[in-house]
Structure 1
Amino acid sequence: LTVLLFAIEISVHSTVCGRPPVTEGIDETTLKRVYEVGEELTLTCEQGYLPSMPTPGRITCTATGEWTPSNLACSPKMCPIPRPLQPLARGRTEAPYKSVLNFTCDDGYVMIGANESRCLHDGSWSSQPPLCKAVNCPLPTPPRDGKIVHDRPVSGSNTIYGQTWTYECNSPKAPSHERGSCMADGTVTEPPECRDVSCTIPTNIKNGFITFAVMRPHGYKEKVKYACNEHYTLVGEPEIQCQNTGNWSSKPVCKAPCTVGIKRGRIFYNARKIWISDLKPNRILHGEHVAFYCLNRAERCGYPVATTCNDGNLPIPECFVGEFLPVS
């Protein structure tokens, strides 16, 4: 009997509680590995976390080796996200303790300040958002026998990223390239060479003509003007210019007028509803719109369907019922 009681006594007193389970934010720095039965433990939140209850959470080691439940929950403090950064944070206005904001600048800009900021335990940020300042470039060098024309006024001895300019050569020479800029790596475009450029004698365009030009090769930036034959529509710039490459800029084209290909029927043209027989001459210019009247048999009424003249072709709506002109 003595031996049995001694064994029972040993087994009772050997019951202990291990380290209590804790959730995020509970201070674990003072926790032990083993606790005796009946021992009480006060749980608190670590720095940067707020308790869910005004009083500390007390738990007790029970005879079963289990801890009594705790109602304490710790939630992280929040740091307000600076208003200018909120659109980049997908509309969030706060970030929890230990969050990190990482900052980068666009190409062509250098960062002034820290490239990251951490949400601290007191609800503040470790550093202010940095500034992104445009890269500085030296002033560009003008071409030999030429000059630089800046797109915007430049002051001081530097330009900044994104600033642009035009290179010009003394007449009649042309620059090998016309545009320059301050680039993201802090360098500027190399100055061009000024060289002699000649464009060949300009040629006529189909259904058009040159209004005035001396039939000879032309120098850099010289111009030639075109016009179209009667009733044709000019599409593009009427003037072409001799470029620094020795080629002309794109020529315009002359688009043909259209004929309304029906014998009988009504159309809406130039803000008037007319019979096709009253359209004299039967001509619609390129790009102009015409509405044909189609019949809605169920409602016994007509409705307009618009179409457009495109270089001599005027599609007639499929819904139109009437007499067509023969295809020429």
Structure 2
Amino acid sequence: MFYSNSWTKCLIYLIFITSGNSECPKPQVERNQNVVLTNDALLKNDFPEGSEVLFQCTNGYMKAQGSESITCTSGEWSTLELICKKKDCGVPKEMPHLTYEFDKEGTLFGASARAICDKGYQVQGSSYRQCYATGWSGRSRCEVVTCEEPIDIMNGMISEKPDKQFPEYGDVIQYSCDEGYTLIGNISIECEEDGEYSFLPECKDVNDIPLKPTTISASITTSTVPPTIQGTHHSIGEHDTNTATKSPLDRDKVR
């Protein structure tokens, strides 16, 4: 009887030790696995032999492959096979005159996109959008640029303009001058992409506008008449000719 009771106690002790050694520690995962324990697994403190716990993908990630569970066997956990990948927000909804410039993450969770409008349009809403677990943040749209209401000019008037209070990008306003005035500059102005107008024309009194100087080209006339030689000395040819034309009486005087 004594031996029987001792053996029973030893057996119970061995079972206790064995069962105690079969417990697994609280499961741990590496951060770069992008997985976490489910809420039920987090609330447990004891993980005896045969226990099973579940994992799930972290916020912004979704299951790509593998099992979400691991099992405690002989005091060790089985290998977690769950692989998670980033969620893809996809390309934001198309809007008129709007395109997006994406960063290196593209359209995956954590990525950012910059809203870009066509020339003459400006962003309304979010200039930058972020890809969250629930999708893209914010909203973006492009609206046409407008200019202030056009003004009249001194001694002139608006002769033609769009049928709207505030002209839009590309709209043209034309001017004309009152009688007796002339227009200096372009006859029209245009609403530009920055919401400003090109330079306004001016109307000036025609009498105040200086005339352009007239260029007169003078012609130089070259005379072909040789200059007159004055003096008392003659060349040899001239002396002989004069002597030959004198009368005989004059020739005798010369002798």
Superposition TM-score, scaled by structure 1 size: 0.42
Find the counterpart in structure 2 of residue 103 from structure 1.
Answer: 115
Find the counterpart in structure 2 of residue 164 from structure 1.
Answer: 172
Q: Output the amino acid matched with 2:170.
A: G
Find the counterpart in structure 2 of residue 20 from structure 1.
Answer: 29
Find the counterpart in structure 2 of residue 112 from structure 1.
Answer: 124
**TM-superposition CA deviations, 1:278-327 (whole Å, max 9, x none):** xxxxxxxxxxxxxxxxxxxxxxxxxxxxxxxxxxxxxxxxxxxxxxxxxx
- Higher RCO, Cα 8 Å, sep 6+: 2
Q: Output the amino acid matched with 1:157.
A: Q
Q: Please give the secondary structure, in 2, of the residue aligned with 1:96.
A: coil
Find the counterpart in structure 1 of residue 209 from structure 2.
Answer: 197
Question: Which ranges in structure 1 are unaligned for 5 or more consecutive residues?
Answer: 1-8, 206-328
* Aligned residues between the structures: 189
In 1, Cα distance between equivalents of 2:99 and 2:125? 21
Contact 2:23 2:72 in 1 (8 A): no
Contact 2:87 2:133 in 1 (8 A): yes
Q: Output the amino acid matched with 1:169.
A: C
In 1, Cα distance between equivalents of 2:34 and 2:87? 10
Q: Output the amino acid matched with 2:70.
A: R
Alignment of 1:132 onto 2:142: yes
Alignment of 1:145 onto 2:155: yes
Q: Output the amino acid matched with 2:36.
A: D
Q: Output the amino acid matched with 1:112.
A: Q
Alignment of 1:49 onto 2:61: yes
Cα deviation, residue 95, structure 1? 1.8
Instruction: Spell out the pairing of 1:229-248 with structure 2 (5 A cutoff).
Output: none
State the percentage of identical aligned residues: 20
Q: Please give the secondary structure, in 2, of the residue aligned with 1:198.
A: coil
Instruction: Spell out the pairing of 1:71-90 with structure 2 (5 A cutoff).
Output: 71-82=81-92, 84=94, 88-89=100-101
Q: Output the amino acid matched with 2:109.
A: Y
Contact 2:26 2:47 in 1 (8 A): yes
Q: Please give the secondary structure, in 2, of the residue aligned with 1:160.
A: coil
Superposition TM-score, scaled by structure 2 size: 0.52
| The structure with more strand, counted as a fraction of residues | 1
Question: Which ranges in structure 2 are unaligned for 5 or more consecutive residues?
Answer: 1-16, 218-255
Contact 1:25 1:45 in 2 (8 A): yes
